[in-house]
Each structure stands twice: as C-alpha cells, then as structure tokens.
Amino acid sequence: MNISAAIWAMQAFNGLSTFCVLLLMALGLAIVFGQMGVINMAHGEFLTIGAYTTYLLSEVSERWLPAFANWYFFVAIAVAFVLAGSLGLVVEHLMIRKLYRRPLDTLLATWGLSLIMQQAFRSVFGAREVSAKLPDWLMGSLKPTAAIDIPINGLVVMGLTTLLTAGVLFALFYTRFGIDVRATMQNRTMASAVGINTARIDRLAFGLGCGLAGVAGAAFTTIGSTGPTSGSLYIVDTFLVVVFGGAQSLFGTIASAFTIAQTQATTEFFMTGSMAKVLTLSLVILILMARPQGLFALKVRR
C-alpha cells in the first residue's frame, strides 16, 4: 500500500473515533431533544462528568489499587453512566420538569446550568486539563500493513459504541419502556390517554440521555485530555448531528454522526482543522436549507 492510501485509511479511522464520541453524545441528546423537546445546553457537561470520573478512578487505581489498574476502565464506564444519569434525574426533577413546552426557557436555563457546572469543575479540578492513565492493554496499535497503525484504544471505543448503540436500539424497539418512549415521542396526548405515565417516561428518558453522555465522557478520555470546558466543545456538533439526522430518528442520528465525522476527517487531509469544520458545517447547513426536517424525519400524525 502506498503512503497516500495509508494516510487516507488512517484519516478514515480517525473519523471513526470522532464518530463514536459524537454518536454516544448524540444518542442521549436525540432521546432528550426528540422525546421531550428540551434544548439541553448542559448536555456536554454530562460528558465532562464521565471524563472526570474516569480520571479520578485512574488516579485511585494508580496510587492505591495498582492491581486494579488494568480493569478500572470498565468500572469507570459503569460509574460514569450512573453518576451522570443520577444527576440528570435530579436536574429533570428540580428544573426541567417545570419548563416543558417552553423551549427558549429550557435553552436559557440549561445554558446557565452549563456555566455553573463548568465553574464547579474549575473549583474542584482546576483550570488545567488532565488525562487519565490508560491501562496497558489500551496502549499501542495494530499494524495490518507496514504503513498503517490502528490505535487499540480507538478499536475499544468503537466496540463500546457498537454495544451501547445496539443496546439502546434494542431497549427502544423491543421493550415496554421503549414502546412507551416512542409512543410519547410520536403523540404525547394519545400516549397519556392510553395510560402511559408520560411524566415518568420524561424523567427516565432524560436520565438515560445524560447517562449516555457520561459514557461518552469515559470514551473521550481515550482520545483526548479533560478540562472544565471539554463537553462544551462537542455540544454544537452534537446538536448538529441530531438536527441533521432528524430529531426523532435514532437511525438518522447514527447516519448523521458518521457523515459529519467522516467528512470532517477527510477534509482535514486537504486543509486545516478549522477550515475543515467550516466546510463541514456549511455543507450541512445547505442540506438543511433544502430539507429542514432532517435526513430521516419520522412521519407521524399530530
């Protein structure tokens, strides 16, 4: 394989790594935004919670439980999901449930919450970025050819994303909870009329969305360092993924995340990262102008 083809292959794999983090973030936001109509500007901070959780567990394992160092990452994924999801339930109960059907108010309230959470991260962890010490088995790379290096941590993140995406799709399409969620998403009034507790579904959906963002934070630590504003760097791209794919379509979210991540990774081969992002956003905006409902909008009766 020549050098040019090898570079293209590695750029495509970098796009897949970005796709995985974007997808985990966007799956949670698609549930919150598509299900509840809540514009959660603090969604990125739940990613930061997962990232700092992973960092703390890596520090604990390195200093006091060295025998645990090779396995802490799996525990960190579960703990990140529980912490972020639990905080999401608290936020929904104390703030979000009072602001339903008021999208501008939810936008402003969650934006304020994101600023509060960022300052809390600065107060607790400091303004400098930190990095989790990855287990030895996550280090290194595979070499399918002499010119291509595929990082092992990227493969693990891809596997984690595949399992979680399959789990979310199974839960939404093959369980009673999923039926209730989709019924509420498509017609809240009718769902309530047939006995579905829509308030409970809203609460659980918000917690699930925030928990998935926490898992995205754990995955994020394998490809980048963590700071108080790490989550806010992804929030615009995540909203773009959800809107571009269709706010109520999980399959659209998957296709949109892949398209945006791969387009950006490919264009970075020819230009700077900033210009690649500008080009990607411009193409998405042009497509949305022609199809404002997104690529895979659901057709339902209202």
Give me the pLDDT at residue 48, please: 95
Total structural domains in the chain? Answer: 1
Give me the pLDDT at residue 302, please: 45
In degrees to the nearest 10, what's the CA dihedral of 160, 166, 167, 170?
Answer: 180
Residue 301 vs residue 183, higher pLDDT = 183
Q: Which amino acid does the sequence have at 38?
A: V
pLDDT tens digit string along 86-95? 999 999 999 9
In a domain, 284, yes or no: yes
> Residue 145 is inside which H or E element, if any?
strand 141-145
pLDDT tens digit string along 249-268? 778 888 888 888 888 777 77
Q: Name the band, by pLDDT with cuts 50, 70 and 90, for residue 117.
A: very high
Domain holding 7, by residue range, is 3-128+147-290
Helix (H, G, I), strand (E, B) or coil at 93: helix
In a domain, 138, yes or no: no
Q: Give the pLDDT mean for 174-185.
A: 88
Residue 139 vs residue 248, higher pLDDT = 139
Q: What is the CATH number of the domain that holds 100?
A: 1.10.3470
Model confidence at 96: pLDDT above 80: yes
pLDDT tens digit string along 125-148? 998 999 988 888 888 777 777 667
In a domain, 298, yes or no: no
Backbone phi, then psi, for 226, in 5-degree steps? -110, 130
Q: Name the band, by pLDDT with cuts 50, 70 and 90, for residue 3.
A: low
In a domain, 139, yes or no: no
**First CA to last CA across the chain, in angstroms?**
55
In a domain, 136, yes or no: no
- pTM of the full structure: 0.88
Distances (CA, A) of 72 to 41, 43, 139, 224, 233: 30, 25, 14, 18, 26
In a domain, 301, yes or no: no
In a domain, 68, yes or no: yes
**Residue with the two structure tokens 């939404």:** 172
What is d(CA 189, CA 232) in angstroms, rounded to the nearest whole number? 34
In a domain, 133, yes or no: no
